[in-house]
């Protein structure tokens, strides 16, 4: 015990006090500078001014995010504002077109009802005249559509689908009316003239014209049967020649597998029905001498 006490007495007092302090604060360590021990603080318990920052996990997530912007960039807002204006303008044009198309639908239905009367008797001039009057109404309506499209240059096919069905039906009706008058096919320029269309601005689409002719051919077999019933035995021969020439002309086209091709494929069945009526009339010896040649 005396040896231990002597050893302690041999240790300088500053070192003893420093050792006692290190026992109270284990996180501190010693550094000797020039033979004189000194203490460096390592934590907030040693020296508040030298405390280490908290670990990254202690930092809140909101402080790590970039500051949010209260409004979108000006370029983005301008782009979508332009989109809104364009969509509103397009919707306005479609509403105006739809108003005209609804009147076209009513006119086409009325014209069709007039022409249906030719299936019940021999062609009546009064019936045909009433149908021609509706064709004049259609001409005025197509003119109104042309006026609307002039406000949207280069946008014909963007809105074309809105009146396409009515155009095809109108072509079929005026083509049937033309055949009743002349016995010949209504040509494309003639159809444009009747409907008041201008090929340079607002013309008649070729596919609409061809589909309209296919629709017209659907009426001919029924017309032939009714005319034979009414005593016109020469009608099958004329219709057969007309349909044969029309079908042969369509075969010159390289049609895709679309709606027009389907309607053209149906034309051969209409042609077959007319052939059956013609052969039946010929076998029975009905009609004039020309019709049996």
CATH code linked to domain 216-293: 1.20.58.200
Residue where the block lists tokens 């069905």: 165
Average pLDDT, consecutive stretches of 10 residues, N- to C-terminus, the chain (293 residues): 49 52 48 49 48 52 53 86 93 95 96 89 81 94 93 88 96 96 95 90 93 96 92 93 96 91 94 95 78 49
Asked if 224 contacts 180 with a C-beta cutoff of 8 angstroms, the reply is: no
At 120 the pLDDT is: 77
Cα gap 45→27, rounded to integer Å = 9
Cα gap 146→89, rounded to integer Å = 17
At 119 the pLDDT is: 83
Residue from 233, 242, 87, 101 nearest 176 by CA: 242
Taking the C-alpha atoms of 235, 241, 247 and 249 in order, what is their torsion angle to the nearest 10 degrees?
-140
Q: Are strands 29-33 and 36-40 parallel, antiparallel or unpaired?
A: antiparallel
In this structure, the number of other CB atoms found within 10 A of the CB of residue 152 comes to 14
Residue where the block lists tokens 């002597």: 6
User: Helices 235-250 and 259-283: crossing angle, nearest 10°?
Assistant: 150
Domains 88-204 and 216-293 share a fold: yes
Asked if 122 contacts 156 with a C-beta cutoff of 8 angstroms, the reply is: no
Domain spans of the chain, in order of start: 88-204, 216-293
At 45 the pLDDT is: 47
Pick the CATH number of 88-204 from 3.40.190.10, 1.10.3720.10, 1.20.58.190, 3.50.50.60: 1.20.58.190
């Amino acid at each position: 015990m005396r040896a231990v006490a002597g050893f302690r007495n041999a240790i300088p007092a500053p070192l003893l006090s420093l050792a006692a302090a290190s026992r109270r604060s284990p996180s501190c360590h010693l550094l000797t500078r020039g033979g004189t021990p000194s203490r460096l603080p390592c934590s907030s318990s040693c020296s508040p001014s030298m405390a280490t920052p908290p670990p990254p996990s202690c930092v809140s997530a909101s402080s790590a995010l970039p500051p949010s912007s209260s409004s979108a960039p000006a370029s983005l807002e301008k782009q979508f504002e332009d989109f809104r204006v364009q969509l509103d303008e397009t919707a306005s044009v479609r509403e105006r077109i739809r108003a005209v198309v609804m009147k076209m639908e009513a006119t086409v239905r009325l014209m069709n009802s007039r022409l249906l009367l030719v299936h019940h008797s021999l062609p009546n001039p009064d019936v045909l005249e009433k149908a021609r009057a509706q064709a004049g109404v259609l001409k005025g309506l197509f003119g109104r559509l042309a006026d609307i499209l002039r406000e949207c240059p280069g946008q014909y096919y963007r809105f074309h689908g809105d009146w396409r069905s009515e155009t095809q039906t109108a072509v079929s009706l005026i083509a049937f009316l033309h055949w009743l008058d002349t016995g010949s096919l209504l040509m494309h320029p003639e159809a444009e003239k009747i409907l008041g269309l201008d090929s340079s601005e607002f013309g008649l689409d070729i596919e609409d014209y061809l589909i309209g002719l296919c629709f017209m051919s659907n009426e001919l077999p029924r017309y032939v049967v009714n005319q034979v019933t009414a005593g016109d035995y020469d009608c099958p021969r004329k219709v057969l020649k007309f349909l044969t020439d029309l079908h042969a002309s369509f075969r010159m086209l390289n049609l895709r597998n679309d709606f027009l091709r389907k309607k053209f494929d149906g034309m051969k069945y209409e042609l077959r029905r007319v052939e059956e009526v013609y052969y039946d009339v010929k076998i029975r010896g009905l009609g004039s001498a020309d019709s049996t040649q």
